[in-house]
Structure formats: structure tokens, C-alpha cells
Amino acid sequence: MSDSTKDGDGTRAVRAGLPEPVKNEPTLPGPVFAAHFHLPGEVAGPYSYGRDDNPTWTLLERAIGELEAPGRDGVETLVFASGMAAISAVLFSQLRAGDTVVLPSDGYQVLPMVRAQLEAYGIEVRTAPTGGDAQLDVLDGAKLLWIESPSNPGLDVCDIRRLVEAAHARGALVAVDNTLATPLGQRPLELGADFSVASGTKQLTGHGDVLLGYVTGRDAEVMAAVRRWRKIVGAISGPMEAWLAHRSIATLQLRVDRQCATALVLAEALRARPEVSGLRYPGLPDDPSHKIASQQMRRYGSVVSFTLPTRARAERFLESLRLVEDATSFGGVRSTAERRRRWGGDAVPEGFIRFSVGAEDAEDLVADVLRALDESAQ
Ligand SMILES: Cc1ncc(COP(=O)(O)O)c(C=O)c1O
């Protein structure tokens, strides 16, 4: 039999999670809509009740597992209703009152709310920035280290392997938020992490029409607790969303390669503009994150961030764009951008723009951005 671990990312993506072919059956079976399954007599077999498991999830979980940890045995993936459901499942299933957790201080803007909830349950929360591996300094005594690399929206990168080694030496588990990178950009389990956790709402599904999250983990006992949490809280994905996600994964490599290539072209064009400051893209050779990113990432993501001189200038820029929607989220095939300070959460300047590069032609997108920069100057 041929060895599928040698397959390229495109080959793996189009085949990920497909069942063995069955004559007269579809390649990817459709969504299974079921609250309950036939269950005469004793409880046996995988499918009994729709909050516990569903065949459409099983195939999607297999697909994500094949991308996050190709060829690795014993790895398990669980899908959730959203990225936050997946993040909460790891944190709240693993931590108890009296434990300590280390979070990034510059991570996704809902993390401060998570922090407050953890503290309300008697869990000590320490934070440090992603850049400079600063989380190393606050690891002593921690039960769990939460990494977000690249961070959203600042696009800082930390040395995951180094942090994992330090955390494991102290007996702490390590989870990496892999949302921005996608499993084609980075494989946290190969870098030693215990969990790769992500919002599949972003580039994994890539069309801005599905909310989804997942946890991939290496340890059966630890993952059993995450699964138990899913059952208790019930933050499950609908079968239709799970199926749409699986269908979308077939084009993941096409989308990611295209979007990453255009993101680099856009970043280079922005670098030449005098009104742009604080430009960040881990794929730019002179970006502060590039050295570590190039060691642990295989693709650098579709998000570029930069700052325009004022809030008004940033708003005029966003209004002038023709091909880019002013919307939150990122990773979709249609470019989006937003002035991140409008939410109030992130510690970024008023004119800070998080720009998510879509699958438009690079020349069209760059021309639109440069025109909008010119128009917004007036
Ligand atoms: C890095 C990161 N993690 C997690 C999430 C949460 O994902 P969801 O919106 O699917 O709950 C987001 C959402 O923007 C994110 O950017």
C-alpha cells in the first residue's frame, strides 16, 4: 500500500477524512441530521445521541486530524460549535480551583473575558506577551500554557518548541491556538504541543458562512476530559456546518497558498507607502517575527496588519475600498479589513487595520488598496 504521509498538502487536503469508497455511495457522504440513532437494548456503538457524536463530525474530525498530525497514531480531534467553544473546552476541562494558567496578553480579544471567568472559579491567570517568548518568565507552577502564534491581531510569533520544552519541564500542558496559521501553516503537535485548538470559522472553512471550532490532542485521557466537557456544555456543531467545513477543506491548500502569496505582495506594496506604519506580516523577510516563523511555519497566513496615521484616515480608507468588505473575522476568500480599535478590546492604535487577504487577483487587490490609500489622504 502506498504511504499517504508522503502526500503533498494539496493531495492530503482533497482526500482528508474521506471514507473508504463504497459502490453507489457519494465520495463525501452528506450531513447526517439526527438527534438520536436507533439503539435497541444495551448502549453500544459510536452513535446513540446527537449531542455525543455524529457520523458527519467523525469524518470531519478525521480530516482535521490528518492535516494537524499526518501519520501520527493516537491523535484525536473533536469539533465544536465555534472556536470559543473549543478554547473553553480545553481550559475549563483541564483547570481546577487553585491551578495556574498562562495566557497571552495580546491574544484574541475574548481571552480577557475568559480570564475573568477562570478567576471567578478560583484559577490564577498570568499573562505575558507572545513576542520575545515572554510567557517563559511566568511559567513556574503553571498547569497549562496557552499560546497564540501568530497572535491576533498583532501577528507576533513565539518559539513554540522552546516554550513547550520549558512548560513540559515544569509539568504543564501546552495548547496552541492555530487559527491564524491553519494546519497547513503550522502543526503544533509536531512542535511538541499537547493541543492544537482553532477557530474553523476562519481560513479552515474560508467562506465566511460557518462557525466551527476544534481541538486536536495527543493524549487519550486528556482528550476524554475535553470530550466530556463537550457533552456537558453541549456546544456542538450542527451537521450541516460540519459537512460544509469538510467540503471546504478540500480547497484549503488552494486557498491558503493563494491568499498567503497575495498577502506577501500586499505587505510589500504597503511597505512602500509613507502613511503606513507598524506594518506586520510574518512572511516579510524583515518582519520581527520572520526568523522564528520561518523555522516553525510552512505558510505565513492571510492576515496583514498596519497602522494609518489617524482614526479618521483609517475610516476613510476602509470606506474607499471597493473589493474589501469592512467586516470582522479573517481568512475568507473575500478580503475583509477592519479598524480594530472599534471593538475597544485590543491594545492597538486608533488607526490600526487588520487586513485579511482573500482570493482575489493580487493585482486587483493591491490596486484597490493603493487607490483607497490615495483617496483617503484627501
Ligand atoms: C485567534 C482566534 N482564536 C479564536 C477565535 C474564536 O473563534 P470563533 O469566533 O469561531 O468562536 C478567534 C475569532 O476571531 C480568533 O481570532
Query: Using the 8-state DSSP alphabet, how is residue 36 labeled?
Result: B
> What pTM does this model have?
0.97
Q: Tell me: pLDDT of 312 over 90.
A: yes
Nearest CA to ligand 1 atom 9: 83
Whether 148 lines ligand 1, by a CB cut-off of 6 Å, is: yes
Work out the mean pLDDT of the chain and round it to a whole number.
Answer: 97
Please tell me the distance between residue 42's alpha carbon and the centre of ligand 1 in angstroms.
40
The DSSP secondary structure of 204-225, one letter per residue, reads TT-SS----EEEEES-HHHHHH
Please tell me the distance between residue 79's alpha carbon and the centre of ligand 1 in angstroms.
14
Strand partners, 216: 77, 196
Q: Tell me: pLDDT of 309 over 80.
A: yes
pLDDT in the model for residue 2: 63
Whether 336 lines ligand 1, by a CB cut-off of 6 Å, is: no
Whether 359 lines ligand 1, by a CB cut-off of 6 Å, is: no
In ligand 1, the atom with minimum distance to the C-alpha of 107 is 1
pLDDT in tens, 275-297: 999 999 999 999 999 999 999 99
The CATH architecture to which 4-249 belongs is: 3-Layer(aba) Sandwich (3.40)
Please tell me the distance between residue 155's alpha carbon and the centre of ligand 1 in angstroms.
14
Instruction: Copy the grid coordinates of residue 54.
Output: 455524529
Q: Is the dihedral of CA 179, 180, 186, 191 positive or negative?
A: negative
Please tell me the distance between residue 6's alpha carbon and the centre of ligand 1 in angstroms.
31
Mean pLDDT for 316-345 is 97
pLDDT in the model for residue 232: 98
The DSSP secondary structure of 237-303, one letter per residue, reads PPHHHHHHHHHHHTTHHHHHHHHHHHHHHHHHHHHT-TT-EEEE-TTSTTSTTHHHHHHH-SS--SE
pLDDT in tens, 87-99: 999 999 999 999 9
In ligand 1, the atom with minimum distance to the C-alpha of 200 is 10
Q: Looking at the chain, how many residues does it have?
A: 378
Please tell me the distance between residue 26's alpha carbon and the centre of ligand 1 in angstroms.
32
Nearest CA to ligand 1 atom 6: 83
Please tell me the distance between residue 35's alpha carbon and the centre of ligand 1 in angstroms.
27
pLDDT in tens, 133-162: 999 999 999 999 999 999 999 999 999 999
Where in the chain do CATH 3.90.1150.10 domains reside?
253-376
Mean pLDDT for 179-184 is 98
pLDDT category at 45 given cuts 50, 70, 90 is: confident
Please tell me the class of the 253-376 domain: alpha beta
Whether 199 lines ligand 1, by a CB cut-off of 6 Å, is: yes
H helix runs in 20-145, sequence order = 55-68, 83-94, 111-120
Nearest CA to ligand 1 atom 14: 329
Whether 213 lines ligand 1, by a CB cut-off of 6 Å, is: yes
pLDDT in the model for residue 4: 76
Query: Which residues, 6 or more positions from 8, have their beta carbon under 8 angstroms from its beta carbon?
Result: 253
Mean pLDDT for 103-109 is 97
Please tell me the distance between residue 87's alpha carbon and the centre of ligand 1 in angstroms.
9
Q: Tell me: pLDDT of 71 over 60.
A: yes
Whether 196 lines ligand 1, by a CB cut-off of 6 Å, is: no
Whether 346 lines ligand 1, by a CB cut-off of 6 Å, is: no
37: left (phi over 0), alpha (psi -120 to 50) or beta: beta
Please tell me the distance between residue 40's alpha carbon and the centre of ligand 1 in angstroms.
40
Q: Tell me: pLDDT of 101 over 80.
A: yes
In whole angstroms, give the CA distance from residue 127 to residue 7. 39
